């Protein structure tokens, strides 16, 4: 059974960095397109970054050049390296897996960018 668990969120000052991790159970990561989404209060959930089974990557324009998504299939883990963080990056960040016709979500991890 697929289970996604995010970690690495927290409070960081503007300009700082964080690395989020998403551990996937069920041995599905290598077969899945993985993504990071975020949702701020009162806002819709939005795509931040995505990495395919073939390791092609896509980024939202607001984070391109600052964030990097990567995967380690041996560890069944996907990462989101976030640099040069801005207050507008504050949100709950969710890990997503697309496996054939099914979609799975983690519980989310809070990222707060504030001085």
In the chain, what is the greatest distance between 2 CA atoms, to the nearest angstrom? 42
The pLDDT profile of the chain, 115 residues, written as one tens digit per residue, is 789 999 999 999 999 999 999 999 978 888 899 999 999 999 999 999 999 999 999 999 999 999 999 999 899 999 999 999 999 999 999 999 999 899 999 999 999 999 9
For residue 95, what pLDDT is reported?
97
Contact 96, 89 (CB under 8 A): no
Tokens at 51, concatenated = 């990495």
Contact 49, 63 (CB under 8 A): yes
For residue 100, what pLDDT is reported?
87
For residue 51, what pLDDT is reported?
97
């Amino acid at each position: 059974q697929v289970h996604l668990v995010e970690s690495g969120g927290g409070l960081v000052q503007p300009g700082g960095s964080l690395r989020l991790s998403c551990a996937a159970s069920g041995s599905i990561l290598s077969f899945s397109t993985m993504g990071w989404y975020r949702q701020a209060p009162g806002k819709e959930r939005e795509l931040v970054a995505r990495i395919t089974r073939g390791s092609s990557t896509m980024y939202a324009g607001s984070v391109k050049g600052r964030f990097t998504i990567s995967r380690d299939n041996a560890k069944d883990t996907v990462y989101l390296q976030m640099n040069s963080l801005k207050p507008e990056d504050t949100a709950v960040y969710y890990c997503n897996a697309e496996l054939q016709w099914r979609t799975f979500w983690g519980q989310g991890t809070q990222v707060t960018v504030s001085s």
